[in-house]
Structure 1
Amino acid sequence: MADDLRFTMERVGERFNLGEYEIDAYLAVLEHGELTASEIADNTDIPQPRVYDTVRSLSDRGLVELRESRPMKIVAVDPEDAFGNIQSSLTELVDELGARYTAPARDTEAVSLVKSRSTILRYIEEVIDNAEYELVLSLTPDLLRRFYDDLAAAIDGGVSIDLLVTPASRAPDPAEFDYLSVCTIARARRGITTPVLAVADGEYSVYATQDALRDDQDRYGVIFNRSALGFLVSSYFATVLWTTAEVLAADGKHRPFPRRYASIRRAVKDIRELGDEFYATVKGRDVETGNSVVVEGKVVSVAFEDTEEVAAMTVETDEGTVEVGGLVAALEEVEAQEILIGRHAPPGQMSVAHD
């Protein structure tokens, strides 16, 4: 029985282990019936040097036929013929695997490397769904469309979203795409070297190369599963990626006050841009002793550089003024781990627990 299961799984895996290029090429050929390699390149974003390897891979899986001519024709195979013969095998495989499945315990502080495209995508979806108040993302245009409904639901739920789309040359035109239905602000950045990433509330994060989400098995993704190390990904996004991108859309749906922040940069930017009187409740650590502290009072000044490398605030408390910085702060007195901003008085945790 074990050998039969392995054989069935190998057959299914061989047929469905398609990379992004293979999927794009297959759909293009299906739409047109037959295409040449040059026509596939014209109808997709597949680089010309990769087209022949891609169509041969599809041919090996029985999804297309290669007809020797000048130029060679790539002809679509009827999907019923291509996939129908393994439909029953797939059903049996799912049933058998389900019978053997044992749900693993989730390590809430796990850090792991993953090479599976499907696993990376699943974690990106989890990050989006788990965001309570703040989300930063770097997505390809294809991933933006894939997660459109999830992002729209997050925006409707009051989550503040910074969205980076890469590469910029493929980003949807703001005149045709409603960015503000899925984010608070959107920017575009050049280059396929820009990673795909997602960070929820400054903690739960995913980082992956764009290649890892195509078909390059030598690439990887990193999952910080609710780890405090998520701030590394968030800081990299804010200081390296976000500051080198062009604005696509801004002034999205504003959250009501009081607001909760994982990033001092976002808190300071909101205070500076709104230009009103604000009060803060900051939970964090004394940078000298490491002791946990709570700072409550009126925000009397903020420091912010357009490069976003520096962000800090001064809070006037009953004991005097306190300088507050972000995670791993060194120049300020307090490292902020969670920031609550209100308009009339320092907000308490309970007042924003259900925002």
Structure 2
Amino acid sequence: MTTDDLRSTMERVGERFNLGEYEIEAYLAVLEHGQLTASEIADRTEIPQPRVYDTVRSLSDRGLVELRESRPMKIIAVDPDDAYSEIKGSLTEMIDELESRYTAPARDTEAVSLVKSRSTILRYLEEVIEAAEYELALSLTPELLERFEDKLATAQQNGVSVELLITPAAEAPDPDEFDYMRVCTTARARRGITTPVVAVADGEYSIYATQDALRDDQDRYGVIFNRSALGFLVSGFFGTVLWTTAARTLAADGTERPFPRRYASIRRCVKNLIEAGGEFYATIQGRDVTTGESRLIRGKVVDIAFEASEEVAGLTVESQDGEEVTIGGQVAAFEDLEAYEIRIGRDEPPEFEP
């Protein structure tokens, strides 16, 4: 399709759907009753009597209604399938052509964005889910779970560890009727209709949005942390505020995941090591808490710190030169090293490829 043809198609489609307020009111009234007179339309709508005739003639010109020039004139609904049959093909063709011309905009890899568009928030949610390589944390409504079910199943099949929180708990799918293990590693439900929508991929790429924003409330918003160091705010909020206050566990994968494993969250790492038991070795990429310098630590895990409240979680690793290094999560203050990525093995420290 040439550019001129595309422009012509867009104008034709736009003209068909460019209905004014009175036209919409009159059209819906006629559709509901099959046929009406001008007086009946005026009685059933807020269209002033003098404007009814111009309004229905406009609808007739668009092929949406038929006018029977009787006394009184009757306005007859045209089957929408017939009225829009031609435009449906044009619309599909137009969307395909526009899609073929679309070039995804380059995004700053450290961008922090504030968005209010529901469609944009949904697009970013999908991108975060697809971006996860080894760890994904989500707080979703049941409707969003249904929307992204296949994307989550793909992530699960690719070996991504998925922690899924469904809210509100009262509307969460029944575990006897929904296969949670197809889409996640662990699923929990949380009370409260104000719980935000959250998605965090590998502790970095993340989105936070209010549920109101997904109902097209223009006074609400979503925040995107696209590979930003500030993404830990969303990850930490999910792990300490949302996940730990979930009302109940819906499903949990009891199978033993093979080692080596990768973690972005120190809490998830520590909990898994306690559950698995035994001897572990770690390779940790992070930043020295005191100097801010980047460090890579490889060695044996000699201690694990953890509290049931999950407010405290950490590791102590004996490095290959004999130094004991305490490991904390992002924004660590008490430990020696702030961990960005943790790799855990059974027999030796896993290899690390930046």
TM range (shorter): 0.7 to 0.9
SS at match of 1:155: helix
| 1:333-344 alignment runs, 5 A limit | 333-344=336-347
Q: Partner residue of 1:188? A: 189
Q: Is residue 2:331 matched to residue 1:297?
A: no
Q: Give, in whole Å, the separation in 2 of the partners of 1:304 and 1:159.
A: 24
8 Å contact kept, 1:9–1:93? no
C-alpha RMSD of the superposition? 3.1
| 1:44-83 alignment runs, 5 A limit | 62=28, 80=81
SS at match of 1:332: coil
Please tell me the residue identity of whatever aligns with 1:304. Answer: F
SS at match of 2:233: helix
Q: Give, in whole Å, the separation in 1 of the partners of 2:257 and 2:26.
A: 52
Counting matched residue pairs gives 302
Please tell me the residue identity of whatever aligns with 2:342. Answer: I
Q: Partner residue of 1:203? A: 204
Identity of aligned residues (%): 67
Q: Describe the shift of the 1:331–1:82 C-alpha distance in structure 2 as closer, same or farther (beyond 3 A).
A: farther
Q: Partner residue of 1:164? A: 165
Deviates most, 78-87 or 258-267: 78-87
Q: Partner residue of 2:348? A: 345
Which whole-Å deviations, capped at 9, do the CAs of 1:13-39 have from their partners, x for residues lacking one? 989xxxxxxxxxxxxxxxxxxxxxxxx
Q: Describe the shift of the 1:92–1:178 C-alpha distance in structure 2 as closer, same or farther (beyond 3 A).
A: closer
SS at match of 1:162: strand
Deviates most, 184-193 or 304-313: 304-313
Tell me the TM-score normalised to structure 1 length. Answer: 0.76
8 Å contact kept, 1:203–1:226? yes
SS at match of 2:343: strand
1:283 Cα deviation from its structure 2 partner: 0.8
Q: Describe the shift of the 1:320–1:120 C-alpha distance in structure 2 as closer, same or farther (beyond 3 A).
A: same
Which whole-Å deviations, capped at 9, do the CAs of 1:199-222 have from their partners, x for residues lacking one? 110011111111111232322221
Decide which of 320, 323, 332 is 1:320's aligned counterpart. Answer: 323
SS at match of 1:349: coil
8 Å contact kept, 1:179–1:249? yes
Tell me the TM-score normalised to structure 2 length. Answer: 0.76
Q: Describe the shift of the 1:216–1:344 C-alpha distance in structure 2 as closer, same or farther (beyond 3 A).
A: same
8 Å contact kept, 1:164–1:242? yes
SS at match of 2:195: coil
Please tell me the residue identity of whatever aligns with 1:248. Answer: L
Q: Give, in whole Å, the separation in 2 of the partners of 1:176 and 1:79.
A: 37
Q: Give, in whole Å, the separation in 2 of the partners of 1:132 and 1:197.
A: 17
Q: Describe the shift of the 1:201–1:85 C-alpha distance in structure 2 as closer, same or farther (beyond 3 A).
A: same
Q: Give, in whole Å, the separation in 1 of the partners of 2:151 and 2:30.
A: 34
1:97 Cα deviation from its structure 2 partner: 4.3
Q: Partner residue of 1:152? A: 153
Q: Give, in whole Å, the separation in 2 of the partners of 1:60 and 1:290.
A: 67
Q: Give, in whole Å, the separation in 2 of the partners of 1:109 and 1:14.
A: 42
Please tell me the residue identity of whatever aligns with 2:350. Answer: P
Q: Partner residue of 1:227? A: 228
Please tell me the residue identity of whatever aligns with 2:349. Answer: P
Q: Partner residue of 1:124? A: 125
Which whole-Å deviations, capped at 9, do the CAs of 1:255-287 have from their partners, x for residues lacking one? 310001111111101111111111111111110
Q: Partner residue of 2:277? A: 275
Decide which of 232, 257, 266 is 1:264's aligned counterpart. Answer: 266
Structure 1 residues without counterparts, runs of 5 or longer: 16-57
Which whole-Å deviations, capped at 9, do the CAs of 1:37-59 have from their partners, x for residues lacking one? xxxxxxxxxxxxxxxxxxxxx97
SS at match of 1:217: coil
Deviates most, 144-153 or 93-102: 93-102
Deviates most, 107-116 or 329-338: 107-116
